[in-house]
Structure 1
Amino acid sequence: MALRSRKTYGDECFEKWEFVSSGGFGQVCKARLTDLRIDVAIKILHDGSSSSSMILRDEAKCMDMASFNFVVRLYGMYQGCPPGKGPSTQQGLVMEFMEGGSLQSLQEKLCDLPPWPLWPLVFRLAHEVAQGMNFLHTEHLMHLDLKPSNVLLNDNLNAKIADFGLSRVSASASNSNKETTGAIGGSFKYMPPEALESSSYEPVRSFDVYSYGILLWTIATGKDPYPLANYDRVESNIPQGDRPFCKEIEQMKVDGLKELIPLMKECWHGNPNQRPTFMQCLDVTEKVLSMHSMGIDDAVRQVKRLMSPNSNTSNTSEATNVSLQTAEESTYDSVDFGGITETGRSFNQVCASTKTMSIQDKAKFVDRNWAKLIQAVSEVMAITEALGDMVHPETLSKIERQDTSQDKMRMLHRPLRSGGDKVKAAFYDALKAQHCHLVERLGGSF
């Protein structure tokens, strides 16, 4: 069978061109492939030099080798003059169009309003990325740039790995501008310590495994691992053992996290020989996905509803202050992290700030926004446990047995209703500590 990278499409093959995005490599357009009646993505290079053309052909060859369910499909090469690009001939790749955008764009759109994540979808994404990466490694390919923007989503929010511009069959390295991509290619926040320490480092498969560990953290939290850190800081701190802070997700009462968090830490282990293979990762991700398989369709529907143009959910993304943290630390009073929550406030600051509202005001907030809270709150068990003796043990047990966060919230409403303003105010305080952005958006006081 002929390689897809040897099939070339010209301008006559396309109609309905639309600009999608651009980057350092060039731009991506959406177009209609007329003979197949499907929409495709066309990645077009800014630079038409011979060296750039060779890089493009190398990427196409890697995509040919990586034909798999969880890898973006290549249809062929493009050569022509796309609309708005002038009369000169451009080259590009014709690929499967992913209607759902990227994992990064999904996280930016959802932000935490309601809070990321919807757990069944999280576990499916983790498993599908591991499946895609395992296939690449069995084909003796290394991706070398695994990150949220390179995990694309189809209309049903299934994950497919994309952007093979840095992929290698051998262990050769690609030199790039380290301020944007790191010393040897790839995004520096997802690069392992051994790559940051040595300019002569030649990547091996454990490079991708480390990147996957950081990606798991971003999938579970919906956040950038080090939003305020530049390359120099990452280069200095990561080899010393610093990693994204895990205390917040370790406290979440979600089935599967007690298996996923240790996997995450094993993947980002400082010693590359101690990291698991992707086959070993699949043993874990398949298990945790099975715990949530019944909730996937509902989670996908919720995300689509939130992303629809008619949704009332704000897409404003606020920078979060998650600083570098040594992986072994487990207390809130570390020097680097300082107990910072998702809004940049310490836990004590959050609790103190709620005192600016009276008990009656807090209760009115809960009553006024209860319908929205049912849909938005994900950390129901953490909030319930913070209420302590205000929730009867039998009721607590019933809440734990509910399948979804919405059902847990409905069950929790009983002790709130019977306990009056005092219990509702305590719920408000616990809610504020877990979901500051949500409380602020709904009119709560800081």
Structure 2
Amino acid sequence: MPSPIPVSRLLPRDIYPSVDIGTCSSPLAKPPHGSTLQVPVQRPHGRVASRLWSSVIHWKELRSVEPVGSGGFGSVYRAEYLGETVALKRVKKCTKNKLASRQSFWAELNAAHLRHSNIVRVIAATTCVPADFGDESSIGTILMEFVGSRNLQHVIYGCTEPLGEDRWLRYATDMARGLRFLHSHRVVHLDIKPANVLVSAQDVCKIADFGCSVKLDRGCEGSAISPHLSHVGGTYTHRAPELLKGEGLSPKADIFSFGITLWQLVTREQPYTGDRQHVLYAVVAHNLRPRVQEQPGFGSERGRRCGALLSRCWSAEGRCRPSADELLPHLELLRSQV
């Protein structure tokens, strides 16, 4: 669970001054005279809107709620909503740090207004839950498009089917496209890893789980991390060294995580072994990175070129890493090579 984040880091400046983080709050607007917060949502022919999202969930329209998975963040369910299959996510309340839980919920909405084929779409979100749907351990509920229960973690480590060059390069290109779009809107995910990249039935990757994300203010990219952000950013094996040192926050942190994830796609191995603290120290002090040499996946010409690209992605200095926009041509060139 990330540490407390100032609401100004999660919401645009033209929104956050009016935010009321009470029981039924939403980052969209304050309700007039205490009425329920709503955002007009176009539902042609009763279907879920494709462009707008709502701060109201029509609970009576939920059908067939079935559990899909759970973890430290909460629980995910598959359901039917307004005639479509959706994913329902209940964000777990952390009793030790309630503010962190609340801010993690709002961080999930950093990309709610964005629409891209490689990002999971948010349909609705609210902290208002009726008693018959209530859960005292939940701080809020988010409805999203249902991509499926498969993610890159399952593909890499849970499947016996081959994961050839064409396939992992396609997955890498999907991720890079999603990151390019997020970064163009100043959203930094901060928890890119195989488990947070869903794979659709059409074999398309979609970036999910924005609970650690940050919306950067204009002009603050690369600035020092504030004390409130010193522990933001998910899994330690994928975390950029500048975040471990508290030196700066920029989209290049996601590029480092992308590099580790791509290495996992190529090798289907775990990036590090050993004690967590030892790994953290070695990444920062000794430039520890996953091994590329002598790995079978990097033996071909495309593999060697990919290995060179990885070395840039996980450079110790963020300024030396390519942007997502710079990554895409390299990945597309690798895909075009026979």
TM-score between the two structures when normalised by the length of structure 1: 0.57
Paired residues for 1:241-280 under 5 Å: 241-249=287-295, 252-254=298-300, 256-280=302-326
Q: Are the counterparts in 2 of residues 259 and 284 from structure 1 also a CA contact under 8 Å? A: no
Alignment CA distance shift 1:212-1:25 (3 Å): same
Cα RMSD of the aligned pairs, angstroms, is 2.8
Higher relative contact order (CA 8 A, sep 6+): 2
Matches within 5 A, 1:405-424: none
Alignment partner, residue 238 of structure 1: 283
Aligned with residue 332 of structure 2, among 286, 304, 307: 286
Query: Could you say if the C-alpha distance between residues 67 and 76 of structure 1 is closer, same or farther in structure 2, counting changes exceeding 3 Å?
Result: same
Looking at structure 1, the residues matched to 323 and 185 of structure 2 have their Cα atoms a distance apart, in angstroms, of 14
Give distance in 2, aligned partners of 1:233 and 1:121: 33
Aligned counterpart for 1:91 among listed residues 140, 143, 160: 140
**114, 118, 125: which one aligns with 2:164:** 118
Contact kept in structure 2, 1:14 and 1:31, CA below 8 Å: yes
Amino acid at match of 2:174: E
Greater fraction of residues in helix: 1
Q: Which has the larger radius of gyration?
A: 1
1:148 aligns to 2:197 (yes or no): no
Q: List alignment gaps of at least 5 residues for structure 2.
A: 1-39, 42-50
Give the whole-Å Cα distance in 2 for the aligned partners of 1:82 and 1:285: 49
3-state SS of 1:40 partner = strand
Residue 87 and residue 132 in structure 1: after superposition, are their counterparts in 2 closer, same or farther (change >3 A)?
Answer: closer
C-alpha distance in structure 2 between counterparts of 1:219 and 1:173, whole Å: 33
2:112 aligns to what SS in structure 1? helix
Q: 1:71 aligns with which of 112, 116, 119?
A: 119
CA shift, 1:100, in A, is 5.2
Equivalences for 1:61-210 in 2 at 5 Å? 62-78=110-126, 79-80=128-129, 91-99=140-148, 101-110=150-159, 113-114=160-161, 116-170=162-216, 183-196=231-244, 198=245, 200-210=246-256
Q: Return the alpha-carbon distance in structure 2 between the equivalents of residues 128 and 151 of structure 1.
A: 10
Q: Distance in 2 between matches of 1:23 and 1:174?
A: 27
Per the TM alignment, residue 193 of structure 1 is displaced from its structure 2 partner at its CA by 1.8
Aligned to 2:34: none
Q: Count the aligned residue pairs.
A: 278
Unpaired runs of 5+ in structure 1? 177-181, 293-446
Q: CA deviation at 1:19?
A: 0.8
The C-alpha deviation readout for 1:240-270, integer Å capped at 9, x for no partner, is 1111011233675545223211111110011
Distance 1:96 1:86 in 2: 22
Q: Paired residue for 2:11?
A: none
